[in-house]
Amino acid sequence: MTDPLFERVAILGIGLIGSSLARALRRENLARVIVAGDRGDVPARALALGIVDEATDDLGAAVTGADLVVLGAPVGATPAIMEAIAPHLAPGTILSDVGSVKKRVMDMITPVLPEGVILVPGHPVAGTEKSGPENGFAELFHGRWCILTPDADVPMGAVNKVARMWREAGMIIEIMEADHHDRVLAITSHLPHLIAYTIVGTAANLETQMSAEVIKFSAAGFRDFTRIAGSDPIMWRDVFLNNREAVLDILQRFTEDLTALQRAIRWGEGETLQALFTRTRAIRQAVVDARQA
């Protein structure tokens, strides 16, 4: 058996992604010791599941001696977490994360990053609508993309170690600039979630009888929206607040396209509708062909 990639990995925020990573680390023997840092009863639950070796609500203690620290909490918790762990991070430690927003997270971390600690931001583009350590599974990452957004001056050795970790977990690695990541994810992830929350919210605001019938007779399309809208509300609140510029830009474009579609329906422009649906069907096939469906 080869030596582990890391001696001690601290995962701060042991929810769906964090607990899935812990399981993948254990499955692939990538860490000698895996530590969960979280609040409340979450550390004890993770320890009881057998997916970590140590668990604590003392984040400073969790990261002490770690050669890799992964932030798995909602983006908005980043400043408080950094305040708690910064004095305990040793030079040479790699600090990474799993957040769906990259530029804002980097802006929050960089000013308080201790000298010698290496920041390699990451975003495993995988997940379900469920949360909590009980719902994680090592196969979550299989065949999915992991985007890394390190600054240009970050040592490639550290980037390669983080990339190898995610690759061993089953992911395909892409490296891009943080700003570009945030614009891409605004359309591929953030806008769809915003639309899902809105559609389900509209259904919830209908009169009582109609709302009950919407739930009773939910067709596949609405069920898909409810699945997305069932995602962690705190995580998604933080995503929208911390990627607001990119989201608002994409939302404006979507609003303009929706207005054009509304006009086509109002005026019976069947050819316009068919042309749009044909283009979008081709995009769906491209997603299937890329094995991202």
CA 263 vs CA 93, 279, 280: distances in Å: 56, 18, 18
Annotate 20-82 with DSSP letters as a single string: HHHHHHHHTT-EEEEEEE-STTHHHHHHHHTS-SEEES-HHHHHTT-SEEEE-S-GGGHHHHH
Please tell me the pTM assigned to this model.
Answer: 0.88
Cα–Cα dist 43/248, whole Å:
36
For residues 138 and 283, membership in a common domain is answered with no
221 lies in the same domain as 197: yes
Per-residue pLDDT tens over the stretch 251-272: 999 999 999 999 999 999 999 9
Query: What letter does residue 73 receive in the DSSP assignment?
Result: S
User: So what's the pLDDT on residue 223?
Assistant: 80
Angle formed at CA 292 by CA 288 and CA 293, multiple of 5 degrees: 55
Residue 221 predicted with pLDDT over 80: no
| Residue 130 pLDDT class (50, 70, 90 cuts) | confident
* CB-based contact 65:91 (threshold 8 Å): no
Distance CA 61, CA 55 (A): 10
Mark whether 53 and 94 lie in a shared domain: yes
User: At which residue do the structure tokens 């997270």 appear?
Assistant: 105
Which residues are CB-neighbours of 275 under 8 A, at least 6 positions away?
A: none
Please indicate whether residue 216 or residue 81 has the higher confidence score (pLDDT): 81
Residues 137 and 277 in one domain: no
Domain boundary among 140, 159, 176: 176
Number of domains in the chain: 2
Residue 6, helix vs strand vs coil: strand
Residue 231, token pair as written in the block: 């995602």
pLDDT of residue 282: 86
Which of 30-44, 55-69, 121-135 has the weakest average pLDDT? 121-135
Q: Tell whether 122 and 249 lie within a shared domain.
A: no
Q: Is 54 helix (H, G, I), strand (E, B) or coil?
A: strand
Residue 86 pLDDT level (bands cut at 50, 70, 90): very high
Q: State the Cα–Cα distance between residues 100 and 124, nearest whole angstrom.
A: 8
Among the three residues 113, 145, 176, which one is the final residue of a domain in this structure?
176
Q: How much is the mean pLDDT over the chain? A: 92
Range of the domain at 161: 6-176
Share of the chain above pLDDT 70, in %: 98
Is the Cβ–Cβ distance between 120 and 158 less than 8 Å? yes
For residue 260, the model assigns a pLDDT of 94
Q: Are residues 21 and 160 in the same domain?
A: yes
Helix (H, G, I), strand (E, B) or coil at 126: coil
Q: Residue 261: how many CB atoms within 10 A of its CB?
A: 14
| Whether pLDDT at 220 is above 90 | no
Residue 215 lies in a domain: yes
Query: Is 162 in the same domain as 284?
Result: no
pLDDT of residue 1: 59
Output the CA torsion sign for 49, 54, 55, 59.
negative
Residue 57 lies in a domain: yes
Does residue 287 register a pLDDT over 80? no
34 SS3 class:
strand
Same-domain check for residues 23 and 155: yes
Q: Name the residue type at position 70.
A: V
CA nearest 106: which of 137, 75, 135?
A: 75
pLDDT band at 280 (very low <50, low <70, confident <90, very high): confident
| CATH label of the domain that carries residue 112 | 3.40.50.720
Average pLDDT over residues 124-130: 89
Q: Is residue 38 helix, strand or coil?
A: coil
Tell whether 40 and 159 lie within a shared domain.
yes
| 31 or 207, greater pLDDT | 31
Question: Looking at 60-74, 86-100, 206-220, 221-235, which range is the least confident one?
Answer: 206-220
Q: Which CA distances in Å does 49 have to 5, 15, 55, 70, 156?
A: 23, 13, 11, 19, 35
Mind listing the pLDDT tens digit for each residue in 165-207? Answer: 999 999 999 999 999 999 999 999 999 989 988 988 888 787 6
Higher pLDDT among residues 108 and 127, named by residue:
108
Per-residue pLDDT band at 42 (split at 50, 70, 90): very high
Q: Tell me, yes or no, whether 1 lies in a domain.
A: no
pLDDT band at 219 (very low <50, low <70, confident <90, very high): low
Which of 135, 137, 141, 136 lies closest to 168, judged by CA? 141
Q: What confidence score (pLDDT) does residue 110 get? A: 96
Answer yes or no: do 212 and 154 share one domain: no
Query: Cβ–Cβ contacts within 10 Å for residue 225, how many?
Result: 20
CATH no. for residue 208? 1.10.3660.10
* pLDDT for position 160: 98
- Between β-strands 31-37 and 54-56, what pairing exists: parallel, antiparallel or unpaired? parallel
Strand order in the sheet with 145-148: 122-124, 145-148, 172-175
